[in-house]
Amino acid sequence: MRHTDVAIVGGGLAGSIVAAMLGRSGVDVVLIDPHTIYPPDFRCEKLDGMQVEILQKTGLADAVLRAATHDRESWVSRFGRVVEKRRGDQHGIRYETLVNTIRGEIPGGVTFIHAKAQAISTSADHQLVTLSNGWQVCARLVVIANGLNVGLGHKLGMTREVLSASHSISIGFDATPVGRPKFAFPALTHYSESAAARMAYLTLFPIGGAMRANLFGYRDMNDPWLRELRQAPQQTLFAAMPGLRGIMGDFEVTDRVQFRPVDLYATKGHLQPGVVLLGDAFATSCPAAGTGARKALNDAERLGNIHIPHWLATPGMGVDKISAFYDDPVKQACDESSLAKAYELRSLTVDAGLPWVARRWIKFGGQLARGSIRQTRGRLAARSPQRPAAALAGRSS
Ligand SMILES: Cc1cc2nc3c(=O)[nH]c(=O)nc-3n(C[C@H](O)[C@H](O)[C@H](O)COP(=O)(O)OP(=O)(O)OC[C@H]3O[C@@H](n4cnc5c(N)ncnc54)[C@H](O)[C@@H]3O)c2cc1C
């Protein structure tokens, strides 16, 4: 039996951040995860500016950014035309590198037990976690951050409500240009050119020396199009997005094409004494909308900086304390906007109704105007000898 203040079940993105934050502030923490090193996993592969901002509040951003690749400049194309070249704010990083880098920031005082949590019993004072190696951990609070794994929650009487089954599909591969040393763009987001393609966008961004591609869309796993994409990536992609050929040029896929379907779900019955759920363990969001990692980061930051230190300051761990996290307006706003974006992007991509077609063109016009203004400003600044620092074309306004 190991006694501790906080037992964290799951050392993925969310759990590792909370372990590092609490460990650094001197809280007695036990982290439980079966993997000594987080294994290769196709998940979130880049962090945008907003995600980095949240990470900064956890004190872990510097380590993560050192392990990531900054894209520096990012092109955006809509309807087959480059509409904007803007200063990049994306950092490419493989998911396992992200998690293992954060784990590397967990101080030595945190006990890491390499096992699975098999059962949890809870009360308003003490929680008991039973592990696959026969050990038990007694904690004041259990943080459940075990991602998509549903078993533990079920044992606590929690259920998962599927909000949208097979909501989207994420596709990942490494792309190499053929017949030339590099692509014309440092990074590119190419939005789909027609609703019939059922693809939201392709994003290409550097990770180390490789150009990583993430393609997000709305197709069933049994759709023959996915098989065609695996067999003939360039041909299939250019047929679905004809304007991409002129921007991307010939390319080949240098590793396997990975596919991951994603369901949107939310947990019910989660408000219980002594236990709190975060990240995917609480609810998923759509990778295409780019908000899954933001939700996990936001949950971890709010728990690690605000709620858990406050809860530990007084005896007991009743639902009055736990509900403060689920009612946190910052968390609620993040969760609600993630869900709204998931549905909005889907409609924007596949809906052939007039309002959605109009919205696609409005987005095109808006981005084209922004891109032109930015380019003109860049040119003017480059000509002005008084403002050499502003001479960066594509600088954010
Ligand atoms: C294909 C794909 C692409 C994505 N792309 C993006 C993107 O571009 N942008 C974005 O913002 N989001 C994206 N997401 C979402 C994002 O990756 C996830 O929301 C986020 O990583 C969830 O982190 P987590 O810590 O909740 O879960 P995880 O990182 O999955 O961690 C769960 C951990 O729990 C452990 N565990 C499980 N069961 C037990 C147990 N019984 N006992 C102990 N430990 C256990 C596991 O070993 C694991 O370490 C993507 C997701 C997918 C699937």
Q: Determine which residue's CA is closest to atom 12 belonging to ligand 1.
A: 292
Query: In sequence order, what are the beta bridge partners of 43?
Result: none
Q: Which residue has the tokens 């290409």?
A: 204
Ligand 1 atom, smallest distance to 13 CA: 25
Q: What is the DSSP letter of 232?
A: S
On whether the CB atoms of residues 80 and 193 are closer than 8 A, the answer is yes
On whether the CB atoms of residues 217 and 349 are closer than 8 A, the answer is yes
Number of helices and strands (H, E) in the chain? Answer: 13, 18
Q: Which amino acid is at 68?
A: A
Ligand 1 center to residue 38 CA distance, Å? 11
Ligand 1 center to residue 39 CA distance, Å? 12
Q: Determine which residue's CA is closest to atom 15 belonging to ligand 1.
A: 292
Q: What span, in angstroms and rounded, lies between the C-alpha atoms of 230 and 124? A: 52
Ligand 1 center to residue 187 CA distance, Å? 25
CATH of domain 2-70+93-162+264-347: 3.50.50.60
Pocket perturbation via mutation, ligand 1, pick of 43, 91, 282 by most ligand atoms within 8 A of CB: 43
Q: Determine which residue's CA is closest to atom 38 belonging to ligand 1.
A: 146
In the Cβ-directed half-sphere of 86, how many Cα atoms lie within 13 Å?
A: 18
On whether the CB atoms of residues 139 and 311 are closer than 8 A, the answer is no
Pocket perturbation via mutation, ligand 1, pick of 101, 158, 280, 303 by most ligand atoms within 8 A of CB: 280
Q: What span, in angstroms and rounded, lies between the C-alpha atoms of 276 and 392? A: 46
Q: What is the DSSP letter of 222?
A: T
Q: Determine which residue's CA is closest to atom 19 belonging to ligand 1.
A: 292
Query: In sequence order, what are the beta bridge partners of 78?
Result: 81
On whether the CB atoms of residues 164 and 42 are closer than 8 A, the answer is no
Q: What span, in angstroms and rounded, lies between the C-alpha atoms of 280 and 146? A: 8
Q: What span, in angstroms and rounded, lies between the C-alpha atoms of 335 and 18? A: 18
Cα 162–chain centre separation: 20
What residues in the chain have per-residue pLDDT under 50?
389-397
The per-residue pLDDT for range 99-108, each reduced to its tens digit, is 999 999 999 9
Ligand 1 pocket residues where CB is under 6 Å: 9-15, 32-35, 38, 42-44, 116-117, 145-147, 149, 152, 170, 260, 262, 279-281, 287, 290-294, 296
Ligand 1 center to residue 327 CA distance, Å? 23
What pLDDT is attached to residue 103?
A: 98
Element (H, E) at 322: helix 319-326
On whether the CB atoms of residues 144 and 11 are closer than 8 A, the answer is no
C-alpha distances out from residue 318 to 3, 98, 111, 120, 304, Å = 19, 33, 25, 16, 18
What pLDDT is attached to residue 396?
A: 39
Pocket perturbation via mutation, ligand 1, pick of 9, 33, 44 by most ligand atoms within 8 A of CB: 44
What residue segments make up the domains of the chain, in order of their start? 2-70+93-162+264-347, 166-261, 354-390
pTM of the model: 0.92
What pLDDT is attached to residue 357?
A: 80
Ligand 1 atom, smallest distance to 131 CA: 42
Q: What span, in angstroms and rounded, lies between the C-alpha atoms of 13 and 291? A: 14
Ligand 1 atom, smallest distance to 300 CA: 25
Q: Determine which residue's CA is closest to atom 53 belonging to ligand 1.
A: 43
Q: What span, in angstroms and rounded, lies between the C-alpha atoms of 154 and 221? A: 27
Closest CA to 194 of 22, 394, 351: 351
Kindly report the number of other CB atoms within 10 A of residue 349's CB atom: 23
Q: What 3-state class would DSSP assign to 326?
A: helix
Class in CATH terms, 166-261: alpha beta
C-alpha distances out from residue 41 to 12, 132, 175, 236, Å = 11, 23, 18, 25
Pocket perturbation via mutation, ligand 1, pick of 52, 136, 146, 158 by most ligand atoms within 8 A of CB: 146
Token output for 82 = 């480059």
Ligand 1 center to residue 280 CA distance, Å? 6
What pLDDT is attached to residue 378?
A: 78
